[in-house]
Amino acid sequence: MKYSIKKIADYLQGAIDGDPNTEISNIAKIEEAHSGDITFLANPIYTPHIYTTKASAVIVKDDFQAEKPLKTNLIRVKDPYQAFSQLLEFYNTTYDDKTGIEIPSKISNTASIGKNVYIGAFAYIGENVKIGNNVKIFPNTYIGNNASIGDNTIIFPNVTIYHDTQIGAYVTIHSGTVIGADGFGFAPNNGNDFKKVPQIGNVIIEDRVEIGSNASIDRATIGSTVIKRGVKLDNFIQVAHNVEIGENTVIAASTGISGSTKIGKNCMIGGQAGLTGHLKIGNNVKIGAQSGISHNLKDNEIVVGTPALPIRNFKKSSILFKNLEDLYKRIQKLEKELNNLK
């Protein structure tokens, strides 16, 4: 897909230095770009590359002044990084811009399908499913009975969405993710086995959520597992039954959240963190990677480690961790001297 520099500049509300009719067909790094590519310059470290790049156009700050002759066209904008991000979003949207229903696919007669929808081959759409406008459902996706999907949502291949799941608008769900599977509920018997507790709740995902690949979000035992508006989940994340994740919280890969834990809004959780069940995590909390959280956290706390400590305490303790071997040797030496005195 090709666009003229003029069309791109108009989209970014930028000014052109060069030939507005030059065609752009791809996006690349400034140091790796070729003819027909567009790139950007935001970090001054990369400034030398603008004089050697083979890109056909470079997005730069509006006050950029070249110190040497340039072999490329410029698009001047207020914020190059933001403009480039906007261009990436546009490119990604057009790349996946599909409509229509591919064959074979199975769509229930009771399902409601909106306008400009794409449903890929071998997709299954169950009874009473409601799909909004401009939704894209890629091949091999399963959507169970009574599920609903809001406008402009994208569901990539091989996603499984169980019955009664509610998904909002502008949601992105990447490949391999499972939403609405049974929560991990088992009651111990008198013997050595466990009786399964039926999981009859659902999952609610609000607007503008993005969920990475191979994540698993379990439905509630009773009620709902809730992912609030603007949440971003990385790959390989486990969200257990009845968990609630507050607005605009971001969680990195391989994190596990146990049942009924409530996480506030605007939190940041590092990769491989583990949270035990029935916790209450406040707003604006930051949890370091590989931290183990077994107690409630108040608003604005920053913790790290297992068990998690306030970051200031952890940094002080880390000084001792590094010197444990020396301290051990000193204690051994002192014990030996004491024994000699005796």
Which of the residues are catalytic?
A: 241
DSSP-assigned letters across all residues of 5-74: HHHHHHHHT-EEES-TT-EE-EE--TTT--TTEEEE--SGGGGGGGGT---SEEEEETT---SS--SSEE
Q: Do the beta carbons of residue 310 and residue 291 sit within 8 Å?
A: no
Kindly list the distances between the CA atom of residue 48 and the CA atoms of 45, 54, 79, 92, in Å, as whole numbers in the listed order.
8, 13, 19, 28
Q: At what angle do helices 80-95 and 5-12 cross, to 10 degrees?
A: 120
What are the percentages of helix, strand and coil residues in the chain, rounded to 5?
A: 20, 30, 55
Structure tokens at 31: 């140091």
Residue type, 315: K
